[in-house]
Structure 1
């Protein structure tokens, strides 16, 4: 439904997307603009956006500009929050600014990226750019009682799981190798590939359901990467007519040794995040009812 083909200059924006009331759009700083907040709010949805102060001006309740850089330079906790407003097309929107300081190792990597980017343009990085490299800045419209600061940060970090899905799609479906140059045929190709991916997800769910991977005493994680490949191969062979679903299920016990990973001390991130989001979905109505 939300497939749009643009040229390489097409900007990332939430405006073309039809959000539903209660949706939460989580996006990186490519979408971190006031128009994204306005678009989501008008559709009764919320946002969690990574932002850059220069492209996302904020203001106080009195309408005065809020200076983010001095706020970050002020000694204080490594995770902090400020409530204020942003304005877009003569309307104001209540937002929360969340700031989380990166660990020293991650901050050093971020500063190296800033320096490298500046050097490629033949200039020195500014002190402001180096300071901002130490922080993750988020703007959200989620209400504080239901979504405390720590939960919003965790929700944003969960976005990486979506990035991993996109990486799998790019590799397995070869999305970066579309031959056509005409927008209509490119869009048709992308839609066909997305349908193939949806069918693959269905095939993968069937395979996973029949894999003898878990026991009550020893849960065994499954390699989603390898399972995706098997799902696509299964779908491809079924289209060719050489495999049947029964044949796939018959061979699953032999596939187990290839797709089931060795036990880990820590639970896989995807499993942990899914469980947390499920718990949030169950708890949130109770929190909102108490707040009302």
Structure 2
């Protein structure tokens, strides 16, 4: 027997409400989601409608029809589009609160106590039916809390750069090789922050303390497998030279072999001939940092901790299919992504609680089974 979607939504809704952070209803008006709230009975009906749209990935017209069936709204699909576009900040606030409340592995770094430690990353996303990526998601997350601090959506041709993010005095930005360029690094340093970024062979030119080009591979070759090393270097700043530290780890033979195989697959996929120097560099993890309060091992450990953020985001993508972006305009796309992140956070909270929430699914699903595919649609 098929359960009516509206009935199913009404049955499961209290479970979801119990997960929401205090003050979520008041924030709807404060952040502009309910500026024209007469079309909705209140924040609850708006959120329920938005979750139908975000989780089911259905069209505006279909969402409106379902919401009307549930007596949630009296609104056209155009009107709902406007509400979606204006709800991004509200959905983002709820998401950040949920992430902040989630238990995460503690990061022990007393030397950086009181400072924001931000992992910067990016992800390409597509609209349904697109052959190539059409948008790029840029975001920073506090690695000590997994709180999403900043999110931007740009056309996919826009490259990754630390210049996209706001910087507060004392911030520490941790980023992968795509962010290792002089302009982005100087953006953080000029605002009073510090950086810890992974390097490749050419994107971030450095010199040694005598002013000669910093020969990276020559120094790396002095390390034995499994050994770490550190060298002083200088980077050209906006106004003056900046002292930096180059910290490196030489991978074990097994780790190096895995990295080389991965690099070869990427090269074959892109039909690119890999240089011998590039293959050699794959055997190392090389970081550059302006932090002077950590030793080499602590610098490498701090960089490894950023993987917690990357894995958390990849998990959200796998849960919700974040590789497909539905909205075309930047405002709507940002709201759509914020909504997807919110739904993913709710799924993870429900998994932790041993519950299964499905607002519009008609089929019976066993509760408490982590192996059962979770769907909010």
TM > 0.5: yes
More deviation, 56-65/5-14 = 56-65
Indicate the SS of the match to 1:48: strand
2:279 is equivalent to residue 154 of structure 1: no
Determine if contact 1:111/1:133 at 8 Å carries over to the other structure. yes
Q: CA deviation at 1:116?
A: 3.7
Structure 2 Cα separation of the partners of residues 160 and 67 of structure 1: 28
Q: CA deviation at 1:125?
A: 3.3
Distance 1:182 1:127, change over 3 A: same
1:166 is matched with which residue?
A: 313
Corresponding residue to 2:158 among 5, 10, 14: 10
Indicate the SS of the match to 2:153: coil
Consecutive unaligned residues in structure 2, runs of 5 or more: 1-148, 362-366, 371-377
Structure 2 Cα separation of the partners of residues 228 and 80 of structure 1: 45
Normalised TM-score (structure 2): 0.51
Listed one character per residue, the Cα deviations across residues 141-184 of structure 1 (whole Å, up to 9, x for unaligned) are 111xx211001101111111111110122122332222222223
Distance 1:196 1:92, change over 3 A: farther
Structure 2 Cα separation of the partners of residues 229 and 110 of structure 1: 38
Distance 1:85 1:191, change over 3 A: same
In proportion to residue count, which structure has more helix?
A: 1
Indicate the SS of the match to 1:190: helix
Q: CA deviation at 1:120?
A: 5.1
Q: Larger relative contact order (C-alpha < 8 A, sep ≥ 6)?
A: 2
1:181 is matched with which residue?
A: 328
Q: CA deviation at 1:92?
A: 2.0
1:46 is matched with which residue?
A: 194
Listed one character per residue, the Cα deviations across residues 241-290 of structure 1 (whole Å, up to 9, x for unaligned) are xxxxxxxxxxxxx95xx57xxxxxxxxxxxxxxxxxxxxxxxxxxxxxxx
Determine if contact 1:33/1:55 at 8 Å carries over to the other structure. yes
Corresponding residue to 2:352 among 224, 227, 239: 227
Structure 2 Cα separation of the partners of residues 228 and 175 of structure 1: 24
Structure 2 Cα separation of the partners of residues 89 and 181 of structure 1: 37
Corresponding residue to 2:172 among 9, 13, 24: 24
Determine if contact 1:172/1:229 at 8 Å carries over to the other structure. no
Structure 2 Cα separation of the partners of residues 169 and 123 of structure 1: 31
Structure 1 Cα separation of the partners of residues 204 and 326 of structure 2: 37
Normalised TM-score (structure 1): 0.64
Structure 2 Cα separation of the partners of residues 121 and 162 of structure 1: 27
Structure 2 Cα separation of the partners of residues 75 and 24 of structure 1: 28
Structure 2 Cα separation of the partners of residues 228 and 165 of structure 1: 18
Q: CA deviation at 1:115?
A: 3.3
**Equivalences for 1:46-85 in 2 at 5 Å?**
46-74=194-222, 78-85=227-234
Q: How many pairs are equivalent?
A: 216
Structure 2 Cα separation of the partners of residues 116 and 29 of structure 1: 18
Structure 2 Cα separation of the partners of residues 22 and 185 of structure 1: 33
Q: CA deviation at 1:102?
A: 0.9
Structure 1 vs Structure 2 CA RMSD: 2.9
1:265 is matched with which residue?
A: none
More deviation, 108-117/131-140 = 108-117
Determine if contact 1:38/1:88 at 8 Å carries over to the other structure. yes
Structure 2 Cα separation of the partners of residues 41 and 6 of structure 1: 24
Determine if contact 2:195/2:291 at 8 Å carries over to the other structure. yes
Corresponding residue to 2:338 among 184, 191, 200: 191
Q: CA deviation at 1:121?
A: 5.9
Indicate the SS of the match to 1:4: strand
Distance 1:123 1:194, change over 3 A: closer
Corresponding residue to 1:130 among 276, 279, 283: 279
